[in-house]
């Protein structure tokens, strides 16, 4: 669903950065589905500085990087897009931390933060590293590094010198939709 195949037209750096963030925000939880309407919204990328071109193979956005598209909000200190053969090959977000959040179709939102977010298009892989924290509707996953394979959906976490942790909230109990009806009284005899 969130693969960027090599036969796609050459994306802009804003598009590539947004794909990185969208993939990271959604891939960390296999049950998460971003607002489908976000993909049809304009994407805005802002930073204090930009340099590079597709001809040089690298574009760098520096200083208070902000990427928005519908409910998708990304902030980072730096976003770097690497090109190979005229197409995006890799995208990297750096921050203290880099933050990603997006609303979910089913309600609620997913957010992730990490020191570094790498999207390797050729390998169909996203890596979040450095004090990673992923939150979806109150459920929290933390660790030093998470690798996500886009083609298989496999997710692998590493605690570094610590541990990977996961907190799952209990599902709220559904309220009984039908109110209890009192038993019918027995007929009285006269």
Residue 175 lies in a domain: no
Residue 6 lies in a domain: no
Residue-wise pLDDT for 16-39, tens only, equals: 333 344 444 433 333 344 677 887
Residue 71 lies in a domain: yes
pLDDT band for position 180 (cuts 50, 70, 90): low
Residue 135 lies in a domain: yes
Whether the CB-CB separation of 96 and 84 falls below 8 Å is answered with no
Domain of 104? 13-167
**CATH number of the domain within which 110 lies:** 2.60.450.10
Residue of higher predicted confidence among 166 and 10: 166
User: What total of structural domains would you count in the chain?
Assistant: 1
Residue-wise pLDDT for 87-138, tens only, equals: 778 889 999 999 988 888 888 888 889 999 988 877 888 899 999 998 888 8
Give the whole-angstrom CA distance, residue 173 versus residue 52.
54
Q: Is the pTM of this model over 0.75?
A: no
Residue 4 lies in a domain: no
């Amino acid at each position: 669903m969130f693969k960027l195949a090599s036969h796609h037209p050459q994306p802009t750096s804003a598009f590539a950065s947004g794909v990185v963030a969208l993939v990271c925000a959604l891939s960390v939880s296999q049950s998460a589905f971003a607002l489908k309407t976000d993909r049809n919204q304009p994407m805005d990328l802002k930073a204090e500085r930009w340099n590079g071109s597709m001809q040089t193979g690298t574009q760098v956005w520096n200083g208070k990087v902000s990427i928005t598209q519908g409910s998708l909000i990304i902030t980072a200190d730096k976003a770097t897009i690497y090109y190979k053969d005229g197409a995006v090959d890799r995208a990297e977000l750096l921050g203290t931390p880099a933050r990603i959040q997006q609303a979910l179709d089913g309600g609620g939102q997913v957010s992730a933060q990490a020191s570094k977010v790498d999207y390797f298009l050729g390998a169909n892989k996203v890596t979040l590293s450095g004090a990673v924290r992923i939150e979806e509707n109150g459920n929290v996953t933390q660790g030093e590094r998470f690798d996500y394979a886009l083609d298989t959906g496999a997710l692998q976490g590493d605690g570094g010198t610590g541990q990977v942790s996961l907190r799952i909230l209990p599902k709220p109990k559904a309220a009984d939709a039908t109110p209890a009806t009192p038993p019918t009284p027995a007929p009285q005899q006269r």
